[in-house]
Structure 1
C-alpha cells in the first residue's frame, strides 16, 4: 500500500506564513495576501505561482516589491517559517513504514519552505517527497496525484491520501484514491484501522 501524506496541517502544524510575514512587514495578513494575489499587473497570483514552481522566491519578492513598494531585505518565507512536528502523526508514519508500507509526502510548498523542512530533517520520515514547486502543479489539481501514481508505478486503488483540506481529499478521491480528511492523529489512527 502507498500512503501519501500532506505536510502542513498534518505532519507539521499549518504555519500561517502570510500572517507572520504580513505582521512583520506592518501590513497584516489580508493586505499582504492582497499584494500577492493582485493580478492587475498581469503577473498573476504569486502564491499559486510560487507553489507551482512557475516563479522563484527571488522573483516572488521582486514582484511583491513592485506591487507594494516594500523592499524585502531577505526571504521572509524561509526566515519566519518555524512549523512544529505533530508527533502523533509522525508516530503513525513510522509505524506504517515499519509494517512494510511505502509512505511518501505529497505537499503544496515553495522552495523556501521545502529547504526549511530539509534543514530540519522533516522529510526523513518519508520514503520520497513530492513537492508541488518541483512538480509544476499544486493540489487540488488532479495532475498532482497522477504524477505521484505514475512515479510510484501503482494504481489509484492502491493508494491512501491524507490531507487536512477537504477539497484536496475530494480531488484525490475523484481519481479512485482512498482519501482521509485529517483532523487529528487520533482520528487518523481510527480511520486507518477501518482500511
Structure 2
C-alpha cells in the first residue's frame, strides 16, 4: 500500500477528477522532491514508459484508462479506510496485534537459545506459512532447528515465549458491536501453540465464532481464506467488514471487494484514530 500519489497526466485528463480528492497527497511525476520513500508512492499514468520508470524506481503504478475510478485507488491507499457498508452484518477481526498485543516471540527465542537473530529469523520465514496452515507441527520445526543450528530445544518455545495481552480499545469495539446485535468473528493466521494460549486467556470467547488458519488449512491473504469464512457464515462479501494490522492482508481483501480497515499507525494516522473513526457509531 502507498502513502502518496503522483501523476504525469495532463490537466484535462478525466482521471484528474478522481485525483482531485487526494490533492493534499498528490505530486507531479517525475518527482522533484520526495515527501516519502519511493516505495510508498503510487503513480497514476496513461503512459507505458512511465509505468516502466516507476517500476525501476520501486514505485507502484495504476493505469489511468477508461475504467479508472476511485475504485482503482482505494485498495492501495494506506491512509484511507473503507467505510462500513450500510448493509454490514458480519465483522471479521484479526487476532494478533489487533485483539491482543505483545505477540512477538522470535527475539525471545533467539536470545534464550543464543541463536544468531538474523539467521534464525531468515530460516523461520521459510516455515512460517506451513506452521500457520497446520501442515507442519511445532515439534517438526524444532527438530529442524536442532539439525540446522545445533541446539537442543526443550518443550515448545512457540508456547513458552508467547505472552499476549488484551488490547482494550479493540475489545471494547467488539463488545459494542455484539451488544448492538452484530455478528463478530475472528479471522486469524495463527499456530496451534498460540491458539491454545488464546483460548485459555478467554480471547476466543470475545467472538460469535473463531476461524484459525491452522484449522482451516489456509492463510491470509489468500482469497480462499476469506471465501471459506464468508461461505460458512452465509454472508456476501458486500455485507462484511474486515479489520487487520497487516497491509498485504488489507490490500488483498480490498482488491476483491471486502471493505477493510488497516489497524496500524500508517501514513499520518494512528491505529486508534482509524478505529475510533470507523466505529464511532457504536462507541
With the length of structure 2 as denominator, give the TM-score of the two structures.
0.63
Any stretches of 5+ residues in structure 2 without a counterpart?
1-88, 265-270
* Equivalent of residue 143 in structure 1, options 205, 224, 227: 224
Q: In structure 2, how many angstroms separate the alpha carbons of the residues matched to 1:175 and 1:102?
A: 22
Equivalent position SS for 1:180: strand
RMSD over aligned Cα atoms: 1.6
The answer to whether the Cα contact below 8 Å between 2:100 and 2:166 also exists between their aligned partners in 1 is: yes
Inter-partner Cα distance in structure 2 for 1:113 and 1:171: 25
Residue 40 of structure 1 corresponds to none
Moved more, 100-109 or 28-37: 28-37
| 3-state SS of 2:101 partner | coil
Q: TM-score, normalised by structure 1?
A: 0.91
2:201 equivalent to 1:120: yes
Name 1:109's counterpart in structure 2. 190
Q: What does residue range 17-36 of structure 1 map to in structure 2 within 5 Å?
A: 17-36=105-124
The match for 2:132 is 51
Aligned-residue offset at 1:30? 2.0
DSSP 3-state at the match of 1:109:
coil
Paired residue total: 188
Shift of 1:76: 0.5
- In 1, distance between residues paired with 2:246 and 2:218? 17
More contact order relative to length (CA 8 Å, sep ≥ 6): 1
1:1-195 correspondence runs (5 A): 1-37=89-125, 45-183=126-264, 184-193=271-280
1:22–1:31 Cα contact (<8 Å) kept: no
Q: CA shift at 1:28, angstroms?
A: 4.7
Aligned mates of 1:29, 1:146 — CA distance in 2: 36
What is the Cα deviation at residue 190 of structure 1? Answer: 0.8
Q: Separation in 2 of the partners of 1:14 and 1:168?
A: 20
Q: Deviations over 1:158-187 (max 9, x none)?
A: 110000111101111122111100133442
Instruction: Please identify the structure whose Cα radius of gyration is greater.
Output: 2
Question: What's the secondary structure of 1:188's corresponding residue?
Answer: helix
CA distance in structure 2 between the partners assigned to 1:93 and 1:76 by the alignment: 30
Q: Give the superposition deviation at 1:14.
A: 4.8
